[in-house]
Each structure stands twice: as structure tokens, then as C-alpha cells.
Chains A and B, each alone.
Chain A
Amino acid sequence: MSLIRNKITYNAPSNPRELTQNPLKKIWMPCKNGLPEKHISQRKVCMTNCPTLIVTVGLPARGKTYISKKLTRYLNWIGVPTREFNVGQYRRELVKIYKSFEFFRPDNEEGLRIRRQCASAALNDVRQYLTSGGQVAVFDATNTTRERRDTILQFADQNGFKVFFVESVCEDPDVIQANIVQVKLGSPDYTNCNSDEAVEDFMKRIKCYENSYETLDEVLDRDLSYIKIIDVGQRYLVNRVLDHIQSRIVYYLMNIHITPRSIYLCRHGESELNVKGRIGGTLFAKKLNQFIQTQHISDLKIWTSQMKRTIQTAEALHVPYEQWKVLNEIDAGVCEELMYEEIQENYPLEFALRDQDKYRYRYPKGESYEDLVQRLEPVIMELERQENVLVVCHQAVMRCLLAYFLDKTAEELPYLKCPLHTVLKLTPVAYGCKVESIRLNVEAVDTHREKPKNVDVWRLSEDALLTVPAHQ
């Protein structure tokens, strides 16, 4: 749902509107005749009034698609509906079989025609997306000529979209080589080529763009909003950041890196409360310690929450760790320390609402998954900056972090499997994240509750408690 603010005229009622609290999100909203009025804007990310079109710029193998996908994943996670539009994809759909770099030769009229067509088709889809609920579209293509960029600017202007360019400039042959190996060799374009042939062809492909490449210029493009990323983040040029979302995008892009590393996510060891079935593992901690030793991780940072159980787990590792309050488990408010059975008995309506929309549901005097994501954003930002990190946290928190790395939707997030005594090792690879699940062979109670079939507020207790995991 897009959060476009309504422009209301300065017209104060002599009787201020009554407020009612939305039962799901616990948000106070004005109501008329007992019915909630149109939803007052709720701050998440300060929306501009108009959608934003991010336009990548750069020669092939400069990380444009990597940046596009990563940025899209981040923006969606923080709640900004974003989609990427990769023009190469459109080209592959149109030209079923890729023959060679010749397609990209600047004197190939047919090729040029097809490529222009693909760009237009993509822009049409962009328009469709941004006018039907999308907030940000990432137009991922080389866009290396001023002419092409002018076309896009005109398109954006006609449709009332703001434009922000993200240019990636890099001349380091090692980086380009690694890029080709990581993501180009596996491309559908090169399915039927061997590595050497593919690399050779791709290098020629890059050459086709080089002559006509017009980089964003300090003077000629001084009125545009853009960030120029030089040598994979060694240096940045930022011009005319216009609004909040652009500022957040710049901050994010300036914090990411491509140095290989792994992120380890795990929950605290089983706690007394887990065992009794109440929501709120020394053997596990020991095994975790052993596991960490076998991994031979260089410079591992360890983060915990400020709750006793994660700290106890970290203590067993005998290395320094940092406590983050924002890694604390979701606050269940009035339901803290209750069993699911007790929640059903005392708050059956709340229990049902939670099943109806587990992501947005906020416990009374507590938090929602949606709130969790907002408070975890600085953790994600720092994880992006860091290299090898082990995060010892909690079920709901781990689900949120995992959803970020594995690009899960808000609907999937609250049901991601994050069992006790299992370490998830995340390693960035190509455009995504490889995930290895390492079960540390220590018995634990299951704390995962699936969404039951019946989520109606008047359902029977047995229907409500159908999926509650076994406990003592």
C-alpha cells in the first residue's frame, strides 16, 4: 500500500474528530460515526509525493545489476515498494538466442532498433508500476549516452517521476574480471560457451559501449540528481540530493562493499521459558563455540541483544562481543511470558488478529514485525559495513534479518523457519546470498508456530491452538 499523503485544506473542525484505535496495528485514527476515516499517514520512510525513478549508468560489468538488485531488496525490506527493470532481460525475451557481441556493435542498425524497443517496453512497465502503487523503480541498463538519459528524463518529467542516477565507474581490470566470472559466465547469454570464449566475447561487448560513453559530467549534468560510485566505493560524487529517499539511497550505497565475508545468524541457546512453552542451552553454546573454531573465521565480530539468554550464549564463546538493545526480541506487550494457550484464553481476539496479518499485527503495548524491521535497520546498515559477523539473537529478530538477506516478502517473513540450535551461514554470491543451515545436534523444543487454517475471530480454541508446537 503506498503512503501518499492527502492534501487537506486548512479547515479546522470546531469539534475535533474522535479517535479510534485500529485493532491490528494499534494505530490511533480519526473516525466518523464509529468508522475509521481515511488512513492518516504513518511515518515509515518519508514518502515524497511523487515516485522515484532510479537510473543506473555505466559500462557493462560495473556492478549496475548488483547495485540495482541490492538496493531494491533494501528498499522493499524497509517498506518502500520497489522493483527493478533490467533492460537486458527484455532484450533476452525479444532476441531468444544470443549470438555474439556483434549485436551490440554501434553500427548494428537492427541491434540498435531492438535495444531502443526494449528500453521503451521497460519504461512502459515502469510507468505501469509507479502509477499503480510502486514507489521506486530501478531502471537497470547501461544508459551511457546523454541522449538516452535525456529520453528517460523526458519520460519521467511527463509522468511526474523524480529521477536519481546511480553511475558506477571502474577501470580496475581485476574487479571487472571478477565481475565477469561471478555473474556473466552464468548468464543465459553464455549458456553454450566455454569460459574463455565467453570472457573474450564479453570484453568485446564492453568495447562496443566505450566509444560512445558519456559519463555524468560535473558541468553538463550539474542540474541532475545523482551519485557516481568510483572504484567500487573508494570514492563518491554526490550531486543535488533532493529528498529523504534519495538521502537514504546514498547512505546505503556508501555503506555496502563487495569484500567476501560471511554472516552467521543464530538464536540464543534454549532457555527455560522456551522449554515451558512460554514465549520470552549451555550445551548449544559449547557446540556453537566448537563450530566457530572449526570455521577459522578471520576477525569475527559477535553481536548479541541485551537479553540475558543471548549474552549467556555469547559468553561461552570466550571472545569479546557487543550488546545491541535493538537486537532484543519483539516486545509482546501484555502477552509477555504467556503461553499461546494463555493468550488464546485471555485475548482470543488478539490471537486471531495476529494470525490474520502477522507482519503488521502489534501486540497491545508491544510491537509488530513491522516495528521490528524499523528498529533493526541500523543493524542491517552496520552488517553491510562489516565483514565476518555472528549475530546471536531471537526468533522474530532473526526472521527479520533473514528476510532482508534472502529477499523475503512481508507475508513470508513472520513464518520463516529459524529453529533453536541451528546456525544459518549467509555468504553473498553473485546477485544474492547463499544460505547454509548448520544444525548443531542439540535437542531443542520447537518454537515455530505455523499459520492455522482458521483465522476468524470467532474460531474455536482448538482451531486457534491447532499449530501450537509441543511443549512441557
Chain B
Amino acid sequence: MLDKDVLEHGPRELHQNPLRKIWMPRTSNGLPQRPITQRRVCMTNCPTLIVTVGLPARGKTYISKKLTRYLNWIGVPTKVFNVGQYRRECVKIYKSFEFFRPDNEEGLKIRRQCATTALNDVREYLSVEGGQVAVFDATNTTRERRATIMKFAEQNGFKVFFVESVCEDPDVIAENIVQVKLDSPDYIHTDTEEAVEDFMKRIKCYESSYQPLDENLDKELSYIKVIDVGRRYLVNRVLDHIQSRIVYYLMNIHITPRSIYLSRHGESDLNIKGRIGGDSGLSDRGREYAMKLRKYIQEQNIKELKVWTSQMKRTIQTAESLGVPYEQWKALNEIDAGMCEEMMYEEIQKNFPVEFALRDQDKYRYRYPKGESYEDLVQRLEPVIMELERQENVLVICHQAVMRCLLAYFLDKTADELPYLQCPLHTVLKLTPVAYGCKVESIYLGVDSVNTHRNRPENVMAQRSTEDALQTVPAHF
């Protein structure tokens, strides 16, 4: 596919985008071209529709929300469309399981209507709003319903990938109901026993018409069947990169209760001086924090705690005080500030005022000259997240920017919020998965430190005054 314009005018000139430091060709009239594809996650040419399949209380919504959170975090715009939500908006008050009876004509009509409305919103999201993946979260237990969805996808040029959850373990189902169904808007005015009873009857309404994805009848479809909460998987016809990543992710998550502890290293010598980056050691207060951390960990009495650090001295020193084995991950190293390494914000403003302003304009995508961006950090932390999903109790001792990225994943924060998340020194964040999300407890261990959090100043223009630029720089020695 030859570019005639280039043939006539010679090779295109390259210009480095000042924010992201990406080299892009300029057209003959001097304007930057549309950015050449920058590899993040290999986009297929067409959007993907993920369709859940399964009886109620099989974890479809759990999987939908978690998968969506993961895909968004790695940079794939994704959204969940929960048909139950649509139903609740349509039928203001939930009366009982009778609504779901297979012979309830009115119920069926409403449910079909809700599915259609949801699919319309899916089309809007994927074709107009720039979405890349839509997760259609509903039971979709009949072949007929799935055929309807596939037709819809075909008409709109979407790829379809089914995620079926099959489980017959009564304990798992009971636990599921307790965790997420009892608090559902459907059961607000019902006591626990009644709610459980009603929900069990609701499940029964689906059972007789349930047609699981079949090895033969559905052999042309792309899908993963998750059996007994991940004991076993059936994977059929994975078509592209994004489906492969989805399968890998789903095969690594689990629901065993556990907690993830995130902490920064103790205060460092460079922290005290207000300098960023570098590889300095702990200050006296930092060492004190390390001892307090050890005490906290011991008191928590955590079963088989794994401890991870970066390969920078300050996190390792912190871990050393714990007196337990730890693993060093290079991927957990702090963001590389390139030419600004070990500078104070005042020095960055003095030497690179344009860079400093660009960073405030788009802190997530801004890449330091010869350094990294938050966006780069997320890409390098993806294997850490994947392994955190596999593990159980883990303490991660890392750095401010790194911790913000990890926290954003667990708390489903956007790219715009991420670089401004509060991750102060000497504070442990304990994350515990609960229902569809993550409970977070912040434990300050009582050791003073400098504040390293710099808020976005009001004036982010390149020509702002030094005063305006340094308005939000935290105090330092």
C-alpha cells in the first residue's frame, strides 16, 4: 500500500511529540500526521463483544466487572452492560422470583426489551463512543438468545467472545448469594432467609431452559468455559490478541480470600531534600518506619505472607527490617524521570519549564525526556498485577508512582485520577476484595515524614510564572 504523497515528496520528516516523546511523521504541509499506531495492546480492527453465559450466582457479574477493570487499566476502553440493571430501571420494584418464571409472558417481554436496549447502548459505545470492548452481562442461557446477540454483532462488525461460568458446588453458590445478592436492590426489603429462598427459586426458573455452550453445536464460536471457579477451563477458537489476553487473565484470577498490602519504602534521604528519583538509602525516620512496619506485619498475623520489593535500595532496606524473605522485582522500580532524575521540582522548573508545564497538562501520558510516563509504568507493571492476582497474601514495598498505578488497578481509578492518588509515606494500604470491589484500609504507622504529594496547580500553561508552577510543591528541607 504505497503512499503517493510520500513518493512525491520524499521520506516524511519525523517530529517528536513533546508530551509523550513519540516520533511521528509530519505531512508535507508541516502538520503532524495522525499518530502512527503505538503498540499498547494490539487492537483488532473491530471492537469485541464479550458475552457472559451462566445461571444466576455463577460469578458472571464478578467476572464482568473485574475483567472490565483490568482491560481499562491496561488501556483498552471497556464497559459493562448489565441487563439486570436495565431490568431494575424498567421494573422499579422487584416483587419475587415469579417475574423470572419461563411462563410469565409479561416478564419475558420486559426482559427481551431490556436486552435490546442494552444492545443498543453497546452499539453506541462500540461504534460511536470509541469503546473497544463491551461486556454484555446477562444469563444468556439459551442458544436462541445467543444467536440473537451474534446476529447483532455480525450486523455491526463486532467480534464475539463468550465467557461461560459453570458451577454446581452448593457452597460456592450459597457464598455468592450471601456476598452479592442479599445486598442487591432487589432484596432491600427482604430478610435474609426470604431473600435466599426467593433467589434459589429464581435460579430454578433458568435451569430447565439452560443450554450450556456445547462442544459440538457451538464448535465455531469463540469462548472460554470456566468450570468450578477455575478448576478447569475449556477454551475454543481464540481469534486474536485481546481474546488471548482475556483468557490468560481469567485463568489467573481466583476468589480465595486474602489481602494485599501496599506500602512505599520508608522516607529516604532524597525525599527529605525534595528530590525525585535516584537510588538513595533510608533516612532515620525511614528506618524507624521499617521497624514499625515489621511490628504491624507481625501483629496482623498474616498467613504465608509474600513480600515483594523493587530493586532500589530504599525498598530493600525497608524489607530487610522485616526479617523475612522477600523477592526483588525490577518492574517495581520507581518511574524513571530521565533527565530530571534527582532534581528538585524547583530545579525542573528552572531547567525545563516547558516539560514541567506539559507534565501538569497531562500527567498520565507525559513522558520525562529519556524517561518514562505513568502510561509506560502501567505497561511494565502488568506482570506484577497478573502475579498479584495469582497470589494470596502479599506485601508490596514500592514507590509513589508505582503504588499509584497498582492502587488505580484495585480501586478502578481512571487514567486522569491515577497520577494524583494519595500514597503518602509511612502508610500501609490494606486491600481486601469484597463483593464486586475492593475494601481499602489506610494504616498510618505513626512515624513522621515529608509529604511528597504534589497536586496539580491551577496554571498549567507553558508560559506561566515560576511562582504559579511551584505553587503546589510540598515542603522539604
Query: A residues engaging B (CB < 8 A)?
Result: 5-8, 10-13, 16-17, 19, 21, 26-28, 30, 40-43, 46, 222, 234-241, 244, 247, 250-251, 254-255, 282, 285, 303, 306-308, 311-312, 315-316, 318-326, 365, 371, 374-375, 382, 385
A43 near B11: Cβ-Cβ < 8 Å: no
Q: Does B85 contact A (CB under 8 A)?
A: no
A26 to B330, CA, bound (A): 11
Q: Of residues A13, A236, A285, A382, which shows the largest number of chain B Cβ atoms within 10 Å of its Cβ?
A: A236
Interface stretch, picked from B75-83, B236-244, B430-438, B450-458, is B236-244
Residues of B within 8 A of A285 (CB): 11
A307 smallest CB distance to B (angstroms): 8
Kindly list chain A residues whose C-beta atoms are within 8 Å of the C-beta of B317. 16, 19
Q: Contact string, B286-317, partner A, CB cutoff 8 A, digits 1/0?
A: 01001000100010000000001001110011
A11–B323 Cα gap in the complex (Å)?
6
Write out the residue numbers on chain A whose beta carbons fall within 8 Å of the beta carbon of B39.
303, 322-325
**Which of A5, A10, A236, A303 sits near B233, CB closer than 8 Å?**
A236
A42 adjacent to B328 (CB under 8 Å): yes
Taking CB as reference atom, which chain B residue is nearest A230?
B236
* Interface residue total, chain B, C-beta cutoff 8 A: 62
Contacts of A250 in B (CB 8 A): 251
Chain B residues, CB < 8 A from A319: 1-2
Q: What sequence of 0s and 1s flags, for each residue 23-50 of chain B, a beta carbon within 8 Å of any chain A beta carbon? A: 1010000000000111100100000000
Known contacts: A244-B387, A250-B251, A385-B244. The answer to whether A13 contacts B323 by CB under 8 A is yes
Q: Which residue of A lies closest to B234 (CB)?
A: A237
CA gap between A62 and B323 in the complex, in Å: 50
Bound CA–CA A12/B11 (angstroms): 63
Q: How far is the CA of A381 from the CA of B163 in the complex (A)?
A: 23
Q: Which residue of A lies closest to B232 (CB)?
A: A239
Residue B189 at the A interface, CB < 8 A? Answer: no
Tell me if B329 counts as interface (CB < 8 A to partner A): yes
Closest to B244 in A: A255
Identify B325's interface contact among A8, A311, A315, A326, CB under 8 A: A8
Give every chain A residue within 8 A of B331 (Cβ-Cβ): 374
Task: Report whether A282 and B11 are in contact in the complex, using a CB–CB cutoff of 8 Å.
Answer: yes
Q: How far is the CB of B10 from chain A (nearest CB, A)?
A: 10
- Asked whether A321 and B36 contact (CB < 8 A) given A13-B323, A28-B316, A30-B320, the answer is yes
Which 6 residue pairs are nearest across A and B when measured between Cβ atoms?
A: A12-B323, A236-B235, A238-B233, A16-B320, A324-B39, A43-B329
CB-CB contacts of B217-261 with A at 8 A, as 1s and 0s?
001000000000001111111100100100110011000000000
Closest residue on chain A to residue B327 by CB atoms: A43
Give 16 pairs: A residue, B residue, CB < 8 Å, sorted on A.
Answer: A5-B325, A8-B325, A16-B287, A16-B317, A19-B281, A30-B320, A237-B233, A239-B232, A247-B251, A250-B251, A306-B21, A308-B23, A318-B2, A318-B6, A323-B37, A324-B39
Asked whether, in the complex, the Cβ of A322 is within 8 Å of the Cβ of B38, the reply is yes
Residue of chain B at shortest CB distance from A310 = B23
Residues of B within 8 A of A40 (CB): 325-328
Which residues on B sit within 8 Å (CB–CB) of A6? Answer: 325
CA distance A237 to B233 in the complex (A): 6
CA–CA, A308 to B11, complex, Å?
Answer: 13
A366 to chain B, nearest CB (A): 11
Asked if B3 lies at the interface with its beta carbon under 8 angstroms from chain A, I say yes
| Contact residues in B for A375 (Cβ distance below 8 Å) | 380
